[in-house]
Structure 1
Amino acid sequence: MKHGANRLLVVALPLLVVGFGWGLATLFELRFASGDLYPAYSTLRADPMGSKALFDGLADVRGIEARRFYGLPDHIGDGRDTTLFVIGASVGAPEFVDPAEAKELEDFVRGGGRLVMSFRPIMTSPGAFRRELMELGENAFDPANQGKKKDSAAKRKPGKSPPPKPAKQDANVDESAEKSDAKSGEKSEARKRPPRRRSLLGDERRLRAVSLYERWGFKRAFRDLPESADRDPESVNVTRKDAPPDFPPLLTWHTAVHFKELTNAWRVLYARDADPVLIERPLGKGTVVVCADAWPFSNEALRSERRPALLAWFAGANRVMLFDETHHGIEAHPGVAAMLRRYNLHGLLGALLLLALLHIWRNAVHFVPPLHEETAGGAGAVLGKDSASGFVNLLRRSIPRVELIHTCFAEWKKSCGHQPKNQRRAAEMQGALDSGFAKIGGTAHPVDAYRELSRIATEQK
């Protein structure tokens, strides 16, 4: 019965481990399947705010290779036969670009690449939003308070104010009033002082940074979206300008961003009234496309307002579609495993694993049976090859033959002579040694002398 229970445990334990691992992997897969852990407009995000549908759709087209770009180690390449999508970038990102990155982008386009850049939607002008935050209080620029104060301002109806709290009656009314007056005075002084703003980059990088707006010949601008009766921003329609006739005449737009002061190299495809929102220009052998709104690339847009002709124009005639994820903060940090995969060192890893297994096997299994050591009194004992012969050699070098019996008797008295029953035996042994027995036993017959002393020690009287 016990043997059967052990066998059941041996079979059940691996099954439990495999089941636990499968369940854990399923939970992680369900959690990451929606992709809402990733930033908005990332191609890894599968909810309406992501762009995974566009990536998967292009990947399914025959003859097109869709890849994500996570930064190092291969960079974006020379741009030949490649379209680079930068979806959902910050509208302020092109203002401060490292010169090396700007040169890399321009080399990519001049080499024949197509750069498609779009920005995250902004519902209102940043200047108006900043003024609204300043009216709310002195801590409006604290990042921890911006979200809360924006929500409270949106929910507050015009012309209404929260009801005043009833005053508490206590004995220290005057003192509390003075404290409140002092605090209000400090707050008013703080409002008068200009708030300290953090620079987007460090001073050194800020001095070295370049603006893509200036290098490419256009500027950004803002125009607030209209608001509904509940003061919620509403989308607008942008009209087709210098665009192919198969493009839709109107597009739904969800941002306040537009462009101005364009150079003659730019072509305006769509505009909000007279404000350009979708522009294109040649640069070397390639082209640059700048879209003020990233919403047309989102999963929601591909579901509700699919524009295949416009999306095909964005992609161009290139074979490789490269989607940048580094501007979302998703970057690759290759480790040892990634380097092994990159340089095809799978065989080396397998060989090292095989050597490790052989080393473990060599230490665990003896190919030649070990020699069994024989006891000291067994037949065939060789002098100096076991512990008994070593002990004899040690005694011969340390104790003279004449003193051997006296040494044995002295050691016996140390260990057993203090017992009352052995005191008489010790006296008898000492008498035998003093009577001249030691001469016979110590010199001529040590074995016989030892037997005589042993007889006296074990004699029952």
Structure 2
Amino acid sequence: MKRQNLMLVLLLGLGLLFATAVGRLFFLRFETGDIYPAYSSLRADPLGVKALYESLQRLPHPRLARNYLPWRRLRPAAGQTWLVLGASVEEFSEEWPDHRQRLESLLAGQGRLVIAFHPEHRAPRKPDQAPGLPRRSRPTADGEKPPLSLEEAWGFRLGHQALPEIERVLQPVTVRRQGPAPGPETLAWHSSLVFEQPNATWRVIYTRDGQAVVMERALSGGTLVLLSDSYLFSNEALRRDRHSDLLAWLLGGNPTVIFDEAHLGVAEEPGVGALLRKYRLHGALAVFVLLAALFAWRQAASLLPPAAPAAGGFVLGRDSSAGLVNLLRRGVQPRELLAICLEEWRKNAPRGDRARQERLARMSVVVREAGRWQATSPNLVQAFRELCRIVSEKKFAPTNPKKTEL
């Protein structure tokens, strides 16, 4: 094997090894799912909820799905339970009010919306507002009033109760069940977030020191459930502190359960790839790639076999005189040669001289007499010599030109 081919095979092998290693790393990252946000159903480590999703997947009912579409593109149907886990308090206060109607539409037809917040360890930050003005009264750029906050629209307030610390490590607290409700009497709670001042439409399920942490209410033909902590749904909780009866109550009895991923940033924005998958244009794309590869190969290598190398030999060189002769043979007819010589002398000879005029007259007679014979006649050479003699004369008498004997 030639050295060049050996180096090519070696480079291809190294490239294949590198691609395999990179693919393996990506596979390991996607397998654990730690590239996804906390409380995502695609995440398999303790902070994810993939165990709950796969556990429900093994049951004949309900039917499971994941939502990657932005909320503005949702098309809700009746009889669905939506799990919005790991919700951000800041986004709930500042961004979600714009989607309130869309969220409430999920409750139509006996729907169920379960919103569990990400565990908070500090007081929730309120949206920026002018001093003394409630959020609903702040004017927008176009003069319209902003939408009501979800706290105002749904009748409660977000509050904060600090978690205890032991050696700078936050400790969970105990929350207690209120009245007849599913689930254990107490739960370990890992969030400082509480729901303050819920109105009469809410039914409080669990409280911490008199403040609600789990509550539900009827709304828009369905049920809305709020939890201030998402730990209950996590993979870690299902392994160490599982409460199946409470989870079953939270899921409800709807035939479809949807895990929302869009609010975590795992959203699908349709592009060229999505359109190709939607309309099943994989074959057309493969044909296009094949044609592009063939075109690149065609430009890089000829389809014809290489030509055999020319046999070695000597190329006889020629001097400048031979080159001039060949040029004249190809470009000037023999019968025009004397006339061209006369014309070139006329252009280059000095002007304003009487002797020049006499020479020109004599040379014109020679060229005219030579034109009577064939171009191949020996007299053509004699005529050229006569022209050369006339040009080389230095002195001659100013007499009338005579015909030259040829």
**Which of 178, 186, 192 matches 1:241?**
178
**Which of 214, 217, 231 matches 2:152?**
214
Counterparts of 1:23 and 1:203 in 2: how far apart (Å)? 55
Which residue pairs with 2:81 in the alignment? 83
Counterparts of 1:351 and 1:39 in 2: how far apart (Å)? 38
Matches within 5 A, 1:16-415: 16-72=14-70, 75-97=73-95, 100-125=98-123, 204=140, 207-228=145-166, 230-245=167-182, 247-350=183-286, 352=288, 402-404=335-337, 407=340
Structure 1 position 341, deviation (Å): 1.3
Structure 1 position 120, deviation (Å): 1.6
Q: Is the 8 A contact 2:78 2:108 kept in 1?
A: no
Counterparts of 2:94 and 2:379 in 1: how far apart (Å)? 103
Structure 1 position 305, deviation (Å): 0.9
Counterparts of 2:169 and 2:196 in 1: how far apart (Å)? 26
Counterparts of 1:445 and 1:223 in 2: how far apart (Å)? 124
Counterparts of 2:26 and 2:13 in 1: how far apart (Å)? 20
Counterparts of 1:72 and 1:214 in 2: how far apart (Å)? 24
Post-superposition CA distance 1:239-267 (Å, at most 9, x none): 2224545x222211011222233233322
Higher helix share: 1
- Kindly provide the amino acid, as one letter, of the partner of residue 375 in structure 2: P
Which residue pairs with 1:176 in the alignment? none
Q: Select the structure of larger CA radius of gyration.
A: 2
Higher RCO structure (Cα 8 Å, ≥6 apart): 1
Q: Is the 8 A contact 2:124 2:158 kept in 1?
A: no
Let me know the Cα RMSD of the aligned residues. Answer: 4.4
Counterparts of 1:57 and 1:438 in 2: how far apart (Å)? 114
Which residue pairs with 1:183 in the alignment? none
Post-superposition CA distance 1:401-435 (Å, at most 9, x none): 74245548999xxxxxxxxxxxxxxxxxxxxxx79
Structure 1 position 400, deviation (Å): 7.4
Q: Is the 8 A contact 2:68 2:261 kept in 1?
A: yes
Structure 1 position 292, deviation (Å): 1.1
Post-superposition CA distance 1:260-308 (Å, at most 9, x none): 3323332222222432211112223321110111111222212211222
Post-superposition CA distance 1:283-336 (Å, at most 9, x none): 233211101111112222122112222222222223433222333333333221
Change in CA separation of 1:31 and 1:437 when aligned onto 2, cut-off 3 Å:
farther
Change in CA separation of 1:231 and 1:11 when aligned onto 2, cut-off 3 Å:
closer
Counterparts of 2:2 and 2:222 in 1: how far apart (Å)? 74
Q: Is the 8 A contact 2:72 2:102 kept in 1?
A: no
Q: Is the 8 A contact 2:342 2:364 kept in 1?
A: no
- Kindly provide the amino acid, as one letter, of the partner of residue 109 in structure 1: L
Task: Name the stretch that deviates more: 299-308 or 343-352.
Answer: 343-352
Which residue pairs with 1:446 in the alignment? 375
Change in CA separation of 1:291 and 1:76 when aligned onto 2, cut-off 3 Å:
same
Q: Is the 8 A contact 2:71 2:262 kept in 1?
A: no
Change in CA separation of 1:126 and 1:280 when aligned onto 2, cut-off 3 Å:
closer
Task: Name the stretch that deviates more: 49-58 or 354-363.
Answer: 354-363
Task: Name the stretch that deviates more: 48-57 or 112-121.
Answer: 48-57
Change in CA separation of 1:17 and 1:409 when aligned onto 2, cut-off 3 Å:
farther
Change in CA separation of 1:5 and 1:335 when aligned onto 2, cut-off 3 Å:
same
Q: Is the 8 A contact 1:115 1:289 kept in 2?
A: yes
Change in CA separation of 1:445 and 1:39 when aligned onto 2, cut-off 3 Å:
same
Q: Is the 8 A contact 1:405 1:438 kept in 2?
A: yes
Post-superposition CA distance 1:100-151 (Å, at most 9, x none): 5110111111243211101122234459xx9xxxxxxxxxxxxxxxxxxxxx
Q: Secondary structure at the match of 1:204?
A: coil
TM superposition score normalised by structure 2: 0.66
Counterparts of 1:55 and 1:450 in 2: how far apart (Å)? 113
Counterparts of 1:54 and 1:114 in 2: how far apart (Å)? 18
Unaligned runs of 5+ in 2: 305-326, 345-362, 386-406
Change in CA separation of 1:30 and 1:209 when aligned onto 2, cut-off 3 Å:
same
Change in CA separation of 1:225 and 1:362 when aligned onto 2, cut-off 3 Å:
closer
Structure 1 position 50, deviation (Å): 2.6
Change in CA separation of 1:21 and 1:124 when aligned onto 2, cut-off 3 Å:
closer
Q: Secondary structure at the match of 1:110?
A: coil
Q: Is the 8 A contact 1:227 1:233 kept in 2?
A: yes
Q: Is the 8 A contact 1:442 1:449 kept in 2?
A: no
Identical residues among aligned pairs (%): 37
Q: Secondary structure at the match of 2:165?
A: coil
Counterparts of 2:378 and 2:235 in 1: how far apart (Å)? 107
Number of corresponding residues:
335
Counterparts of 2:140 and 2:372 in 1: how far apart (Å)? 100
Change in CA separation of 1:107 and 1:408 when aligned onto 2, cut-off 3 Å:
farther
